[in-house]
Amino acid sequence: MNLLKERIVKDGKVRGNNVLKVDSFLNHQMDIKLMNEIGKEFRRRFDGEKIDKILTIEASGIAIAGIASQYFDYVPVVFAKKTESLNIDNEVFECSVHSFTKRKTYKVRVSKSFLKERERVLIVDDFLATGCATIGLIDIVRQAGAEVAGVGIVIEKGFQEGRTEIEKLGVRVESLAIVEKMEDSKVYFK
Amino acid sequence: MNLLKERIVKDGKVRGNNVLKVDSFLNHQMDIKLMNEIGKEFRRRFDGEKIDKILTIEASGIAIAGIASQYFDYVPVVFAKKTESLNIDNEVFECSVHSFTKRKTYKVRVSKSFLKERERVLIVDDFLATGCATIGLIDIVRQAGAEVAGVGIVIEKGFQEGRTEIEKLGVRVESLAIVEKMEDSKVYFK
């Protein structure tokens, strides 16, 4: 997706060989026009797939999933929660996820009310790197007896193992920009 | 906003006299068509106001703000972060917020890059109860030398002090549904 890659080159900030900051347009400040283009592109990539629900994880995935839903006949969006709140049902699907960015392991939960057997679920997120968060979501979908229709990622770090791990689970991954490497403050796409 | 009130009556769940669960359509599973109607209604309420940016707080406010932006000429959306991430700038506006739902106090942060002097900022959130989170966001906007154009709330607990506290700060509050009381599992609107 050229519009996205151009934006990453223009406004992304590379820190070392691994950190790509896109917080001016994707995951702290958000460009909602760009997110609409991202939603359209997910629709195009998963054209012909029956999608009953979009699942993501708080916080950065939420706007991406919400805007994308508009291009998938407004299917319901569910976001997995990372923290224990008093207001969540006791009946949850749950898994553990390790965040390398935040250097901690946390529980991820989805209320059992919002994932049903045989539903076809599209998982979306802003980044794919190690794949930990996405694999946790796939696990949750399968606990529910639902089916993962695919994974839609905005930016994939192609030099990390996430895609391989997800494909091992028999799940299709579509990433709108795949970063091959970062070097001398520059981003190289696959 | 009748559509919203009807939905609260139909799908909201009252727990005791204080907890209103709307996680089947607003803050865990999300009805994106309803969110579009919410966005339109915010636009109508703040018609004529110059809005340069929409500010919210993770996680539940994010989709509401993102969808609403589409009715405010796609102004940038910024969400305040609750956790310390390695990927946030060191240069942040910051305040402390107490969550009664989660029974803890946490830091709320917005990168200094994304709020500028004299910008007119619309704050939106899913709930207004004690007002703690919203007052924190107002504080952050003012730290930046920006101006709060108003506060847009989806559901206000009219029996708590949030509105009074915010209005004391000279800020206009628009809530799309104001709950007067909850009793015997029923919701009464103002």
Nearest to B83 among A32, A35, A102 (CB): A102
Average pLDDT on A66-90 reads 86
The sheet carrying B53-57 orders its strands as A29-30, B77-80, B53-57, B120-128, B147-157, B173-183, B186-189
The end-to-end CA distance of chain B, in Å, is 12
Residues linked to residue B54 through DSSP beta bridges, in sequence order? B77, B122
- Confirm or deny that A48 is annotated as ligand binding: no
Contacts of B80 (CB under 8 A, 6+ apart): B55, B56, B57, B58, B108, B109, B110, B136, B137, B140
Q: Do B77 and A58 touch (CB under 8 A)?
A: no
Looking at residues B107-119, what average pLDDT do you find?
Answer: 96
Name the token pair of B11: 């799908």
Q: For residue B168, what pLDDT band results from cuts at 50, 70 and 90?
A: very high
CB atoms within 10 A of CB A94: 15
Residue of A59, A101, A102 with shortest CB distance to B62 = A59
- Binned at pLDDT 50, 70 and 90, residue A106 comes out as confident
The β-bridge relationship of strands B147-157 and A53-57 is: unpaired
As a whole-number percent, the residues of chain A with pLDDT over 70 amount to 96
- Write out chain B residues lying below 8 Å of A36, CB-based: 70
User: Would you place residue A104 in the very low, low, confident or very high pLDDT band (cuts 50, 70, 90)?
Assistant: confident
Provide, rounded to the nearest whole percent, the portion of chain B with pLDDT above 70: 96
With an 8 Å Cβ cutoff, are A62 and B65 in contact? no
Q: Tell me the average pLDDT across A172-188.
A: 97
Token couple for B124: 């939106």
Mean predicted lDDT score pLDDT of chain A: 95
Spell out which residues of chain B touch residue A30, defining contact as CB-CB under 8 Å: 66, 69, 76-79
Please give the pLDDT value at position B85. Answer: 58
- Per-residue pLDDT at B147: 98
Query: Residue B98's pLDDT band (boundaries 50, 70, 90)?
Result: confident
Chain A: give the shortest CA distance to residue B96, in Å: 18
What is d(CA A166, CA B96) in angstroms, rounded to the nearest whole number? 38
Is B53 within 8 Å of B75 (Cβ atoms)? yes
pLDDT score for A86:
57
Q: Under an 8 A CB cutoff, do B79 and A103 touch? A: no
Give the separation between CA B102 and CA B123, rounded to whole angstroms: 22
Q: pLDDT per residue over B16-36, tens digit each?
A: 999 999 999 999 999 999 999
Q: Please report the pLDDT score of residue A183 as a whole number.
A: 95
pTM of the model: 0.96
For chain B, what's the residue count?
Answer: 190
Instruction: Compute the CA torsion angle B37, A77, A42, A161 (nearest 10 deg).
Output: 150
* Mean pLDDT, residues A24-43: 98
Q: Is the peptide bond before A144 cis (omega within 30 degrees of 0)?
A: no
Position A165 confidence tier, pLDDT thresholds 50, 70, 90: very high
What would the pLDDT profile of A130-161 be if each residue is shown by its tens digit? 999 999 999 999 999 999 999 999 999 999 99
d(CA B59, CA B57): 6
Instruction: Note whether B77 contacts A102, CB cutoff 8 Å.
Output: no
Q: Using an 8 Å CB-CB cutoff, list residues of chain A that contact chain B.
A: 19, 21, 23-24, 28-33, 35-36, 58-59, 62-63, 65-67, 69-70, 74-79, 81, 83-89, 101-103, 110-111, 113-114
Q: With a cut of 60, say whether residue B9 has pLDDT above it.
A: yes
A56: its two tokens: 């993501």
The Cα diameter of chain B in Å comes to 49
Q: What does DSSP say about strands A186-189 and A173-183: parallel, antiparallel, or unpaired?
A: antiparallel
How many cross-chain Cβ pairs, A to B, lie less than 8 Å apart? 126
CB-CB contact of A124 with A153 (8 Å): yes
